[in-house]
Chains A and B, each alone.
Chain A
């Protein structure tokens, strides 16, 4: 609105009738306090909400799935790390089990990355966000890992894994295009692979309806054994399969952080190595499993 001139500092020439400037009220006002009422952080996570969810989920974690960890000490107790796991079951129980396990054993918050689609869902999207879910945007992951040194959980198989048929159980899908490796490289943090068994049997898919999925805009539309046995409520209730989780050795990358670009082939190699490591450990764990329900 105002083009203004900026020539020379005024030399105070005062003649009767000349204009006199009023002194400014405060030269440089101090910043004021931040009057927050809730504890929702920039990621939408509320520690109070997360506490409540942990309390409610604890019996499911301990009695229903009877989750048991191996190598939990390999997860860094400080600094950022990208946790990478296999993903399974029509509504995957591995995400809450991993987040709950690490948070209650190591007392470190875990931010779970998931498809943006969550954000578009009313109620569920908000609850998901308040209890530690973050949309899987590279920018979000970088900020969490590099600047805030947080633990971030990601499932590189994406929606292809929970959407697969039971006959393909424990066969890992492609790890995307290795985006998770690139983010870890850029953020200068290790990748910590985690192999999970039990999630496939908790909610096995026996039939798929791609037409229906397209119609409702979902990534997949499964018919699960849970639905056949329990009826509509089986849509959300998993079977009490025994969960075993094995943390593998952290993978560090020999490249400087914050580069504009990393070698594509290097990224794909690392991603494939991590995928193979998880796959082999899955087979090893399954070899030693006597029962789906009792482990």
Chain B
């Protein structure tokens, strides 16, 4: 994300905040390590006088951490972030929150498409969904209490891409991809690039409100398997959780919310964001194909290709070489 923002000459200062060091080299982002609940945020906001906060640390994959940590990061982290943004004398004028369409759940009572104002069909049953519901309610309260701050809430569909690892992408890299017997749900995907581009887009245009971010179209899980060149192996429709448990040994843990998804699917209406002028590069199927190609390529060359665009050597050259002509207009 920071990498994409660096390309924007209108942005002066970028401060990155995370619990781990960034995985890619960043050109001009100052990075600060935070603890899990982002408690130092208010001091950073005060010190740097930033006017925009991109809240992208919400965890939407419950296999990534223990429930305790998840609560700490999602709920407490968000509270700290919003407290920092809403503190007296705060310079923050725009908050962008990255949430997930997981908030709609996945049940047999669902409509085919969820619009942004649609309610869940069933009460949230998993910890991750409950934490997202809680986080979004804080965000709503914050927007109400701080009318001078533009609040953007983005809900992302299942993200696929060259770098991101989720239970679904792990499942699609097994020799046989799991499915639930008798069910072929319609899923929706969004490509990593589109995720970054959409955050950039709403940041630049200062769009207030809630937006679904999801590729066009829904496609059956069997077709997802076919695009990735995988055969599906069925796990029984009853006691599915038990049957899926051994998969965890293969490194593919399928938590409850993912099993629900593999049973009923989910669709999020993406027209509100499109209506503001945002253009998706990938459809749902396109995103899956791009993912499949990236997997094949990395298998063939043996490792992940570096996907970042920042070239440190070139930068060093620009920065220090006397050969670079420096005029009053800068270098194009």
Is A4 in contact with B227, judged by CB distance below 8 angstroms? no
B138 within 8 A of A: no
**A173 touches B (CB below 8 Å):** no
Binds A, one of B166-174, B249-257, B315-323: B315-323
Q: Kindly state whether residue B7 has any CB partner on chain A within 8 Å.
A: yes
Interface digits, A106-149 against B, CB 8 Å rule (1 contact, 0 not)?
Answer: 00000000001101111111100000001101011001000000
- Least Cβ distance of B89 to chain A in Å? 16
B5 interface neighbour in A2, A17, A36, Cβ under 8 Å: A2
Q: Which of A2, A10, A35, A140 touches B285 (beta carbons < 8 Å)? A: A35
Whether B52 contacts A5 by the Cβ 8 Å rule is yes
Whether the pair A137, B13 counts as a contact (CB closer than 8 A) is: no
CB distance from B24 to the nearest CB of A (A): 12
B1 engages A2 (CB within 8 Å): yes
Q: How far is the CB of B236 from chain A (nearest CB, A)?
A: 9
> Which residues on B sit within 8 Å (CB–CB) of A139?
111-113, 115, 118
The answer to whether B327 touches A14, judged by C-beta atoms less than 8 angstroms apart, is yes
The distance in angstroms between the C-alpha atoms of A18 and B315, with both chains bound, is 11
Contact of B217 among A7, A20, A30, A36 (CB under 8 A): A36
A24–B17 contact, CB under 8 A? Answer: no
Q: Does A38 contact B (CB under 8 A)?
A: yes
Convert B70-108 into 0s and 1s, putting 1 for each residue whose CB lies closer than 8 angstroms to a CB of A: 000000000000000000000010100000000000001
- Is the CB–CB distance between B17 and A2 below 8 Å? yes
- Give the contacting residue for B9; candidates A2, A10, A36; CB below 8 A: A10
Chain B residues with CB below 8 A from A7, complex form: 12-13, 51
Q: Considering only CB atoms, which chain A residue lies closest to B54 in the complex?
A: A2
Cβ 8 A contact of B330, one of A14, A24, A122:
A14
CB distance from A124 to the nearest CB of B (A): 8
Residue A231 interfacial (CB < 8 Å): no
- Say yes or no: A12 contacts B329, CB within 8 Å: yes
| CB–CB B12/A6 < 8 A | yes
- B9: chain A residues within 8 A (beta carbon): 9-10, 21
* Best-surrounded residue of B41, B111, B283, B309 (most CB of chain A within 10 A): B111
Bound state CA distance, A150 and B164, in angstroms?
A: 39
A9 vs B111: C-alpha distance when bound (angstroms): 45
B326 neighbours in A (Cβ, 8 Å): 14-16
**Residue ID in chain A nearest B98 by CB atoms:** A1
Quick check: A14 and B108 within 8 Å, CB to CB?
A: no
B315 touches A22 (CB 8 A): yes
Residues of A within 8 A of B330 (CB): 12-14, 20
Taking CB atoms, residues of chain B closer than 8 Å to A260 are: none
Q: Is the CB of A32 within 8 A of B5?
A: no
Contact B14 A4 (CB under 8 A): yes
Which B residues are CB-close (under 8 A) to A42?
A: 112-113, 186, 217-218, 267
Does B14 contact A5, Cβ atoms closer than 8 Å?
Answer: yes
- Bound form: Cα–Cα A6–B309 in Å: 23
Which of chain B's residues has its CB closest to A142's CB? B111
Q: For residue B127, give the distance in angstroms from its CB to the closest CB of chain A.
A: 22
- 28 A-B pairs with CB atoms under 8 Å apart are A3-B52, A3-B92, A4-B53, A6-B94, A10-B12, A14-B331, A16-B326, A19-B319, A21-B6, A21-B9, A22-B318, A24-B7, A34-B286, A37-B227, A38-B223, A38-B226, A40-B186, A40-B220, A42-B186, A42-B267, A44-B220, A116-B109, A119-B264, A122-B180, A122-B182, A122-B183, A135-B112, A140-B111
Residues of B within 8 A of A (CB): 1-2, 5-7, 9-18, 27-29, 41, 44-45, 48-54, 56-57, 92, 94, 108-113, 115, 118, 180-184, 186, 193, 216-220, 222-223, 226-227, 237, 264, 267, 279-283, 285-286, 289, 309-311, 314-315, 318-320, 322, 324, 326-332
Nearest 9 Cβ contacts at the A-B interface: A122-B182, A12-B330, A139-B111, A5-B13, A123-B182, A34-B283, A120-B108, A119-B108, A137-B111
